[in-house]
């Protein structure tokens, strides 16, 4: 077996679902990143604009890099409860189980160690969607899948329910052919987005995207977008759920990614009463912790405002007394919204 074949075999053995290899050059979408940043579509995610030329060229991340090993891990898990009820706080599917970062990072380290054992003289870098690497572009370049119009990578076998990771190496490997775009004339994801965040095919304005608003944004959610967020309190999967390539999903092999009753869905009322110590206990080992306690409560206030449920008004009144300005501000908005619905009914 060649070194590339050995690496791929080991990756699959370790639990990765797909692996591909591409040259460590400047990927074709690099120019798009410049325009995307210039338009301000990254919002408050300032780290994306930090040294973009480094993000565009893996050789500036790892001097002498010759190859990028792209890896994909299926995380699709089925729901145990119904999350479409407006009184339930919806979490993105990837957050139903344990945080994927340490799980995949452990596999990456083992694959990295295996590569160095075979080729001790090479240099490497590896990342789980946290490094300055255009991972989606390299996933397409390595044949894992293509970047869909919703800007997620779509694979033929698993759809878009995939976590991406990569290893940069200074060794020359055998390269795979790039994946062809198979979205065709479909625009279901574009039309389904409640906030119209997909401003053009393959172009996402993160400032309007519910995952950005509920996870990355650390300040107040723009008022004009709040009514469009429904009962989403952490992330959103709408653009993926309507994608035809996700019509026949494959259940993940990783038990840690499967839904837990405490994180898959909970009532908005129970979320709203959550204390910091409750938050840390319930979301221990969960990606939801990225939103932080006050951020999650902010999102819950918006969801309650969209619920049209007058029985949640006492919950909002209690939230008004919270010392966290971000929470009380959104609770005030939600209370006014619920009362306006009552007057209109």
User: Rounded to 5 degrees, what are φ and ψ at 164?
Assistant: -105, 145
User: Rounded to 5 degrees, what are φ and ψ at 118?
Assistant: -85, -35
Catalytic-residue membership of 129: yes
Exposed, middle or buried, 227 (CB in 10 Å: 0-12/13-18/19+)? middle
Q: List the structure tokens of 96.
A: 């139903």
Cα torsion 298, 239, 39, 48: sign: positive
Q: Which of 17, 44, 84, 129 is catalytic?
A: 129
Q: Which helix (H) or strand (E) holds 342?
A: helix 325-344
Q: List the structure tokens of 247.
A: 């019509």
In 3D, which of 149, 168, 173, 190 has the Cα closest to residue 54? 168
> Cβ(74)–Cβ(145) under 8 Å?
no
> In Å, how far are 41, 55, 198 from 48, measured between CA atoms?
10, 8, 19
Active site residue ranges: 129
């Amino acid at each position: 077996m060649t070194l590339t074949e050995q690496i791929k075999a080991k990756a699959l053995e370790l639990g990765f679902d797909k692996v591909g290899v591409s040259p460590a050059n400047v990927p074709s979408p690099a120019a798009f990143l410049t325009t995307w940043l210039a338009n301000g579509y990254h919002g408050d995610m300032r780290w994306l604009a930090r040294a973009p030329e480094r993000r565009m060229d893996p050789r500036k991340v790892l001097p002498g890099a010759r190859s990028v090993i792209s890896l994909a891990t299926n995380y699709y898990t089925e729901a145990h409860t119904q999350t479409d009820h407006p009184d339930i706080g919806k979490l993105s599917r990837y957050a139903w189980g344990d945080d994927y970062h340490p799980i995949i990072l452990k596999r990456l380290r083992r694959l990295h160690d295996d590569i160095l054992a075979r080729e001790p003289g090479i240099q490497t870098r590896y990342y789980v969607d946290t490094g300055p690497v255009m991972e989606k572009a390299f996933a397409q370049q390595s044949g894992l899948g293509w970047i869909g119009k919703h800007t997620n990578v779509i694979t033929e076998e698993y759809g878009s329910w995939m976590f991406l990771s990569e290893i940069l190496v200074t060794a020359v490997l055998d390269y795979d052919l790039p994946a062809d775009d198979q979205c065709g004339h479909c625009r279901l994801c574009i039309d389904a987005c409640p906030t119209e965040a997909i401003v053009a095919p393959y172009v996402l304005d993160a400032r309007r995207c519910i995952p950005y608003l509920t996870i990355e944004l650390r300040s107040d959610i723009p008022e004009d977008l709040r009514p469009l967020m429904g009962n989403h309190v952490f992330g959103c999967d709408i653009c993926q759920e309507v994608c035809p390539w996700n019509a026949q999903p494959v259940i993940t092999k990783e038990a840690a990614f499967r839904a837990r009753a405490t994180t898959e869905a909970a009532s908005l009322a129970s979320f709203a009463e959550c204390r910091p110590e409750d938050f840390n206990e319930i979301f221990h080992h969960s990606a939801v912790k990225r939103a932080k306690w006050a951020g999650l409560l902010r999102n819950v206030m918006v969801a309650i405002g969209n619920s049209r449920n007058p029985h949640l008004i006492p919950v909002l009144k209690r939230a008004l007394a919270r010392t966290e300005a971000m929470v009380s501000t959104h609770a005030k908005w939600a209370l006014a919204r619920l009362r306006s619905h009552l007057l209109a009914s």
